Amino acid sequence: MIYVLALKSPVSDYLGLIHSREDEQEIKKWKEKGIIEVAGVDGETRTLKYSFYEEAQKVKAYEAAQKIKIPALIVHGDEDETVPIEQSRKTASLIENCRLEIIEGADHTYSKPEHFKKMLDLISEFIIEQS
C-alpha cells in the first residue's frame, strides 16, 4: 500500500506539452514517419514513436489527481523550461491533501547543487513527517 506521494517536476499534461512544442504539421509528419526526434533536457536527442502521442491522448492525469487521497508533495523549480510550473500548480490544486513547494531559480533537473539539495531535503523531510 502507498501511504505518501512525492513528485519532482511531474508532467501532468503530456498532450499539452507536445502541442506547445510541435505544430499540427509536425505532428502529421510524426504520424507519417512513425517517429520524431526531440531534444532531451540533457541536450541529447531522443526518438519518440508516434504511439507515445497516441497514449498521451488517453492519459487523464488531472482526473487521476482528484482521486488521490494520501498526503502528497510536489516540488517544482520556477525556472523549469521543460515542464511548465502551471501543470504542477493545477495538479496540486486537484489533490485533496497536497503541498506544492516551488524552488526559486531551479530548472527541471535541479542542475545547481543548492537546488538539488533543497529538492532532496523537501522530499526527505516530507516522507519523514508522514511516517
Q: Which CATH architecture has domain 5-12+66-130?
A: 3-Layer(aba) Sandwich (3.40)
Domain spans in the chain, listed from the N-terminal domain onward: 5-12+66-130, 15-57
pLDDT digits (tens, 9 = 90+) for 91-121: 999 999 999 999 999 999 999 999 999 999 9
The model carries a pTM of: 0.91
What long-range pairs does 116-123 form, CB within 8 A, spacing at least 24? 119/8, 119/75, 119/77, 122/73, 122/75, 123/6, 123/8, 123/73, 123/75
- Percent of the residues in the chain that have a pLDDT greater than 70, as a whole number: 100
